[in-house]
């Protein structure tokens, strides 16, 4: 495993402790209005229902982490899922779930991605993990995600949600410099994938979701999306998945770049207890 991969994987824990360790990321409740818990996200309408429900959603990265939870939430919302996975074990596990078609394959191979996505009406990618030794050290964070975007374009799958990270693109300055330095390579690769959507897929209905530091813990239900590119914080994986699936069917997330953080999680990355405005999904 390369140093970079190890650094980024280590950042899963480190992000919680450092970079994405927002201690006091507070939302301005006066600004965001009423909600289910204390986040305005509960104002989302038609969760999984209504006009924007997708029948068959392609998911890349659905074997574990955020992507696996996205699969569960899509099923709960009434969508069928086509999951591109690498291992036989994961394929069996997902195939056992009603509503999931698991296809084994490598996201670094364009034709594999296109073949798996064919017949879907939306696509979500949470692909990540750094350089792929099986693909000449190319980064799945760029090449894999780019394959998903390109296949969506070729197949006419006009709804795409790309999960990247706070620290990408316009949110670069949100990460403390010392942390950015450690994560720079992977954030650069993810930013390249973002740029493909932003600069070349101007007619596509895409949404970019940039989570803060990921934590594997039960959902709080208090996480938010925000257009504030300086936002930094931690967030539980289930909450990211929840936001991603809500954003997918939301009517106001077209060509939006949204950071995802949980204001209820204490963090040392926001010692000034700065407030931010939540993006209200409709
Ligand atoms: N860790 C953090 O604190 C943090 C912070 C912000 C954003 N993120 C990003 O958020 C996303 C979700 O992170 P996570 O930690 O929940 O998930 P993760 O463990 O990074 O999962 C990555 C997924 O990508 C899949 N994948 C990687 N290379 C592939 C390939 N060549 N072909 C097919 N599938 C491939 C993996 O499948 P396999 O099971 O086959 O490996 C896995 O399902 C990732 O993009 C991550 O980089 C992470």
Ligand 1, atom 22: nearest CA belongs to which residue?
128
Does residue 176 lie within any of the structural domains?
yes
Domain span including residue 242: 3-276
Do the beta carbons of residue 100 and residue 56 sit within 8 Å?
no
Does residue 115 lie within any of the structural domains?
yes
| Domain total in the chain | 1
Ligand 1 midpoint to CA 16 (Å): 16
Does residue 124 lie within any of the structural domains?
yes
Pocket around ligand 1 at a 6 A CB cut-off: 11-12, 15, 61, 63-67, 84, 86-87, 106-108, 126-129, 132, 140, 144, 163, 165, 211, 213-214, 237
Confidence of residue 101 (pLDDT cuts 50, 70, 90): very high
- CA distance between the termini of the chain: 42
Residues across the chain: 282
Q: What is the CA radius of gyration of the chain?
A: 17
| CATH number of the domain residue 161 falls in | 3.40.50.720
pLDDT at 107 over 50: yes
Does residue 52 lie within any of the structural domains?
yes
| Closest-lying ligand 1 atom to the alpha carbon of residue 63 | 43
Ligand 1, atom 19: nearest CA belongs to which residue?
65
| Closest-lying ligand 1 atom to the alpha carbon of residue 66 | 16
Does residue 209 lie within any of the structural domains?
yes
pLDDT at 86 over 80: yes
Ligand 1 midpoint to CA 34 (Å): 33
Mean pLDDT of 73-81: 97
Does residue 166 lie within any of the structural domains?
yes
Do the beta carbons of residue 80 and residue 121 sit within 8 Å?
no
pLDDT at 45 over 60: no
Tell the burial category of 175 from Cβ atoms under 10 Å away from its Cβ (0-12, 13-18, 19+). Answer: buried
275 or 194, which is more confident: 194
Does residue 282 lie within any of the structural domains?
no
Does residue 281 lie within any of the structural domains?
no
Measured in whole angstroms, how far is the alpha carbon of residue 124 from the centre of its chain? 8
Ligand 1 midpoint to CA 69 (Å): 12
């Amino acid at each position: 495993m390369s140093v970079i991969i190890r650094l980024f994987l280590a950042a899963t824990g480190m992000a919680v402790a450092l970079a994405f360790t927002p201690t006091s990321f507070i939302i301005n409740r006066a600004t965001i209005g009423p909600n289910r818990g204390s986040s305005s996200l509960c104002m989302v309408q038609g969760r999984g229902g209504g006009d924007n429900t997708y029948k068959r959603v392609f998911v890349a990265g659905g074997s574990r982490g955020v992507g696996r939870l996205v699969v569960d939430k899509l099923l709960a919302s009434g969508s069928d899922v086509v999951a591109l996975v690498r291992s036989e074990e994961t394929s069996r596990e997902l195939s056992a779930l009603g509503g999931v078609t698991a296809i084994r394959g490598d996201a670094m191979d364009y034709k594999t991605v296109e073949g798996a996505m064919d017949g879907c009406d939306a696509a979500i990618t949470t692909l990540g993990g750094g350089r792929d030794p099986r693909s000449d050290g190319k980064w799945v964070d760029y090449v894999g995600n780019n394959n998903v975007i390109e296949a969506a374009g070729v197949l006419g799958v006009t709804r795409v949600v790309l999960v990247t990270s706070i620290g990408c693109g316009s949110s670069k300055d949100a990460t403390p410099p010392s942390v950015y330095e450690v994560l720079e390579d992977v954030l650069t690769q993810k930013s390249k994938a973002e740029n493909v959507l932003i600069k070349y897929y101007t007619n596509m209905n895409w949404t970019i979701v940039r989570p803060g530091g990921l934590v594997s813990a039960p959902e709080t239900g208090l996480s938010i999306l925000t257009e504030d590119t300086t936002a930094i914080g931690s967030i539980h994986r289930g909450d990211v998945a929840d936001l991603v699936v809500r954003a997918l069917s939301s009517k106001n997330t077209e060509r939006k770049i949204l950071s995802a953080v949980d204001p209820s999680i204490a963090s040392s990355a926001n010692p000034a207890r700065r407030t931010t405005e939540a993006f209200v999904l409709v």
